[in-house]
Amino acid sequence: MKTMPTILVVEDEPAIAELVAVNLRHNGFRPLWAMDAASAQREIDAALPDLVLLDWMLPGESGLNLAKRWRADKRTEGIPIIMVTAKGDERDRVAGLDAGADDYIAKPFSTKELLARVRAVLRRRAPQGAQEPITQGALVLDPATHRVHFGAQELKLGPTEFKLLHYLMGHPERVHSRAQLLDQVWGDHVYIEERTVDVHVKRLREALSGAAPMLETVRGAGYRLTARPLVEAAPLAVSQGA
């Protein structure tokens, strides 16, 4: 029998939490409710859920701080997180994504849209079949072990950044528009904005460290991964005697 995915709903408003929980149950999920950061952390410590619906404004510690802490912890860094909050400005959305959220939805929201986002995040977080490592210059991505190396250095990427890099490395030297990347990396999730791509590309560049120049922005077109060789020091000029 297939196990129902567990969704932790971190929400301090009981009416909203109950509405979300009822819709999750009716659509094949097992909801858990935490009304503040402390109880959410207790749930996470007891068992990792399949996904967290996380409110920003909570009693005590904010949801934003929770997301940052979970992303910084080896045990919890891979938990899918969707922020569900009344803070809907672009600046807030970017802050939520930068804190480690996989998606961001503003209140008030449609329960159908919320369920679509939950399913989409779970789909793109599903384990991929084992594949051969991909090499692009000194950059090596191994889908089987979910590791990325640049030369001898192992790079730490979030799950969405890993999937984005996987796609770009599988299609090198091509320019990909934001819409194409949304379609290929995020799938048929029609609710995610193109701005989301820019945020994840920024996070990917930061994670790539010395390999960051390989990820190029093509003005007015999109992004491209290139295998340009590392810049080497120019040879010293040999002076000729008079």
Task: Note if the pTM is more than 0.85.
Answer: no
Q: How far apart are CA 93 and CA 217, in angstroms?
A: 22
Q: pLDDT digits over 196-226, tens only?
A: 889 999 999 999 988 999 999 988 889 999 8
Q: Is residue 235 part of a domain?
A: no
How far is the C-alpha of 120 from the C-alpha of 108, rounded, in Å?
20
What is the number of residues in the chain?
Answer: 242
Those residues with Cβ within 8 angstroms of residue 8's Cβ, 6 or more apart along the chain or in another chain: 31, 32, 33, 34, 40, 43, 44, 49, 51, 52, 53
Q: In total, how many domains does the chain have?
A: 2
In a domain, 1, yes or no: no
In a domain, 234, yes or no: no
**Region 134-157 average pLDDT:** 90
In percent, the amount of the chain with pLDDT more than 90 equals 39
pLDDT of residue 189: 47
- The alpha carbon dihedral of 48, 107, 13, 119 has a sign of negative
For 27, residues 6+ apart whose C-beta sits below 8 A from its C-beta are: 115
Residue 185 pLDDT level (bands cut at 50, 70, 90): confident
> Is 98 in contact with 199 (CB distance < 8 Å)?
yes
Query: Do 21 and 98 reside in the same domain of the chain?
Result: yes
Q: Could you tell me if 70 and 79 are in contact, meaning their C-beta atoms sit under 8 angstroms apart?
A: yes
95 and 142 share one domain? no
142 close to 133: Cβ distance less than 8 angstroms: yes
Q: What CATH number corresponds to the domain at position 202? A: 1.10.10.10
Within a domain: 230: no
pLDDT computed for residue 126 by the predictor: 61
**Average of per-residue pLDDT across 46-72:** 91
- 77 with 146, same domain: the answer is no
- Let me know if residue 241 belongs to a domain: no
Question: Based on the domain organization, do 143 and 221 belong to the same domain?
Answer: yes
Full residue range of the structural domain in which residue 57 is found = 6-125
**What is the three-class DSSP state of 103?**
strand
Q: What pLDDT does 175 receive?
A: 86
pLDDT at 183: 76
Q: What would the mean pLDDT of 4-23 be, rounded to a whole number?
A: 93
Confidence class of residue 228 from pLDDT cuts 50, 70 and 90?
Answer: low
205 in the same domain as 108: no
- Of the pLDDT bands very low, low, confident and very high (cuts 50, 70, 90), residue 192 is low
Residue 220 is predicted with a pLDDT of 85
121 and 17 inside one domain: yes
In this structure, is the dihedral angle defined by the CA atoms of residues 63, 68, 73 and 75, taken in order, positive or negative? positive
